[in-house]
Structure 1
C-alpha cells in the first residue's frame, strides 16, 4: 500500500486488523432534535446547529469509532448558494465540517489517551453528484444525458480543494453510483495531486452491480490503475448484500476494503422517507460485521439509520473489547 495509507494501516494493525467507521450522522442528529428536512440534509446543521454535529462525533468516539466521517456529505458550494450564502461563506462551512470533527477527536483523545481507544482519524466526506441533487439519484446513477466526465470533475473540484486544505486525515467519496463519476473522481485526485489517503465507496441496490446497473469490474479496473485511490468499498447498501460484495471485490482488487451499510431500510428519494422492509437489529448487524471482517473488509461501520449503539456493538466484538 505504501506510505500514503500509513496512518490507516497503523490504525488497522493496532485494532486487531480492523478500523471501525462511525455510524449514521443524520440519524443521530435527528435523535438530538435537529431538523434536517432540507435539500442540504445533515449539512443544514453546519449553519443552524454545529454544536450538535460535534456532539454526535463525540458520541461515536465514545462508542468506539476509529474513523469519524465529516458532516459534508451533502454540503456543496452550489447548495449553500441556493440558501442565499456567498461562495466564501459556503467554503467556510465546508472547512467547519472538518474542524468540528478534528476538535471532537482531539478533545476526546486528550481525555482518553490512556485507555483502549485509538486516536481516531477524520475522513472528509464528499457525497456523489446525486447527493447534491437530493432526488435519490445516488441510488440510480441516472444523471441525465448531458452529464459527462468534465462536468463531474468541475462539480467536485472546488469542494475537494477546500476540504483538503482544512486538514483531514483522509477523504471519503461516498455512495458513488456509476462508473463515470468514479472515473471523474480518480482523475481529479491525480489532477489535484492529493497527498492524503482516499476511499471511494459505491452504492448498490441489488448486491451485484453498481446502482447504475454497471459491472463493478470495469469500474475497479479503472481505480486499480490509480495510486491516489487507496481504499474501495460499499456504503449505504443493505447489510444483506455486503458479504457477497466483499467476496466480489476481493477478486477484483488488492486495495483495502471499506464497508459501512445502512440498517437495511430503503430510502425513497422522491417521497423523502425511509421504508423498513429489511431493518437489521444491532445484534444481527454485529454478527454480520464479524463475517465481513472474516471475508476481508478492513474498515467496517454503519451508514444511514445506524446509531452509536450499532457502532459500540461492532467495536466491542471486532476489537475484542470486554
Structure 2
C-alpha cells in the first residue's frame, strides 16, 4: 500500500492563501509559494509517500491564454520547486509526481481540442521532466486526450499513472467517465499504451468502489488506486471549475477511512485524497492502511 497526498487547492484556501476561480490553486504560485511548500510538508508529515506538483490549474482554462503563453514554464517551475523543497525539508524518501492536468478544464471533455494538446502539454512536460519521479495524468475524462498526452511524455523508466474522474451516480449499472466513455473503453486504451497503474479521482467516494472492481476484472494485473474528492455530486451541467463548490461536512476522517478500507479490500494499492481531503484525512489513511 502506498499513501498519496490530499487536495492541495482547498488546503491552500483553508490556510488563507489567495484562492478563487478561475485561477484556482495557480494563484498561490504567484502570491504565496511558501504556503504551497508548507501544504506539501504537512501532507508528507501526515504520511504521504507521493506528493503531486501544484500545477493543476496552470492551463489556459484557468489562467487565460495570454498569461499561459507568457508564464506557463515559470509557474510550473515554481510548483516543482516547492515540491522539491518540501521533500528536502522533511528528509523523507517522498516521491514527486509530475501533474499532467486536464488540459481544457476539469470534467470538460466537451472542450477537448486535439489541435491544442501539444501547445498546452509540452511546456508543462518539458519543465517538469528532469525532476519528477513519475507522471500523473489527473482527472481525465477524455480518452483521446489521455492518448495524445501520453505520446508527448519522455519514454524512460519512470512510471506513468493515469487517473480517471467518474460520473457521480451510484445508480449507473457500469462506471462511466465524465465524458460518458466506459471503463471498458478506458481499459482498451490502457492496454494499448502499456500503462500499468490506473486510479480514480475527483469524484465521490461512493462511486469509486464499483470502478475498482470493474477495473480489476478488466485488467487484473494493473495496479489500481483512488483519491476521492469531498464535493457533493457533480453531474451533467456541473463542473469542478464553476465557482467554489461546498465541501461535504459528513466526510470526516473516519468516514473517508471507511471508504478507503473498502477500496483496499477490493484491490487498491494507492490511496490518497483529492479536493477537500486534508492532512488529517491522510494521517488516518497512513496509520490504518499501512498496518
TM-score, scaled to structure 1 = 0.80
2:267 pairs with 287, 292, 296, which one? Answer: 296
Note closer, same or farther for the CA distance 1:234–1:265 as it changes in structure 2 (3 Å cut).
Answer: same
Contact 1:264 1:278 in 2 (8 A): no
1:60 lines up with 2:36 in the alignment: no
Unpaired runs of at least 5, structure 1: 1-17, 114-118, 132-137
Note closer, same or farther for the CA distance 1:82–1:130 as it changes in structure 2 (3 Å cut).
Answer: closer
Query: In structure 2, how many angstroms separate the alpha carbons of the residues matched to 1:23 and 1:78?
Result: 23
2:99 pairs with 121, 125, 133, which one? Answer: 125
Contact 1:80 1:86 in 2 (8 A): no
Cα offset, 1:77, TM superposition:
7.0
Cα offset, 1:260, TM superposition:
0.4
1:262 match: 229
2:107 pairs with 125, 128, 139, which one? Answer: 139
Classify the secondary structure of the residue corresponding to 2:20: coil
Classify the secondary structure of the residue corresponding to 1:258: strand
Cα offset, 1:85, TM superposition:
7.4
Query: In structure 2, how many angstroms separate the alpha carbons of the residues matched to 1:214 and 1:278?
Result: 31
Query: In structure 1, how many angstroms separate the alpha carbons of the residues matched to 2:103 and 2:191?
Result: 22
Contact 1:27 1:304 in 2 (8 A): yes
Query: In structure 1, how many angstroms separate the alpha carbons of the residues matched to 2:60 and 2:156?
Result: 20
Classify the secondary structure of the residue corresponding to 1:301: strand
Within 5 A, what are the aligned runs for 1:32-111? 32-76=15-59, 82=65, 84=67, 87=70, 89-109=71-91
Query: In structure 1, how many angstroms separate the alpha carbons of the residues matched to 2:68 and 2:255?
Result: 43
1:135 match: none
Contact 2:6 2:272 in 1 (8 A): yes
2:163 match: 201
Cα offset, 1:313, TM superposition:
0.9
Query: In structure 2, how many angstroms separate the alpha carbons of the residues matched to 1:83 and 1:201?
Result: 28
Unpaired runs of at least 5, structure 2: none
1:284 pairs with 255, 268, 282, which one? Answer: 255
1:163 match: 128
Cα offset, 1:305, TM superposition:
0.7
1:188 lines up with 2:152 in the alignment: yes
1:231 lines up with 2:201 in the alignment: no
Runs of 4+ in structure 1 displaced over 6 angstroms? none
2:183 match: 216
CA RMSD of aligned residues (A): 2.3
- Describe the superposition over 1:93-142 as per-residue Cα deviations: whole angstroms up to 9, x where unpaired: 21221121111112201xxx6xxxxx2111111210232xxxxxx22521
Query: In structure 2, how many angstroms separate the alpha carbons of the residues matched to 1:251 and 1:297?
Result: 13
TM-score, scaled to structure 2 = 0.88
Classify the secondary structure of the residue corresponding to 1:42: coil
2:289 match: 318
- Describe the superposition over 1:246-304 as per-residue Cα deviations: whole angstroms up to 9, x where unpaired: 00110122221121011243464364131457842210111111111111111100000
